[in-house]
Amino acid sequence: MTIKISYDFTAMVALFPTENGGRKRPVYNHYRPSFSFNTKMQFCGEMSFLNKEEVLPGETALASVRMLPARYIRRSLKRGDAFTIHEGDKIVGTGVIQSIEKNKLVPVLH
């Protein structure tokens, strides 16, 4: 049996300005980029913004992040951990975890 872990957390995120390699268009609630936590591995998740409908390139916002279960994501994510936001191989922003709302171990039967 394989164990995967999923996280729900709140984070302060900053999108890079377009002139610094960021997106050209804003992102909206239920935005689904990839995330990395000080590794080359990327993990899938979904981001919704608190008190905002959209975030423009170059802006900072508080977001609720829900990570999909993954086998290799760290089990020790905590407040203050930094991460990068990716679209494919392009880094479009960064974030810092403000609080862990929930983490869950998910058994996967093969």
Per residue in 3-25, pLDDT (tens digit) is: 888 899 999 999 999 999 999 99
Tokens of 92: 């479009």
CATH number, domain containing residue 21: 2.40.30.10
Count of structural domains within the chain: 1
pTM over 0.75: yes
Per the structure, the complete domain to which residue 57 belongs is given by: 2-108
pLDDT tens digits, one per residue of 60-84:
999 999 999 888 888 889 999 999 9
pLDDT over 70 at 110, yes or no: no
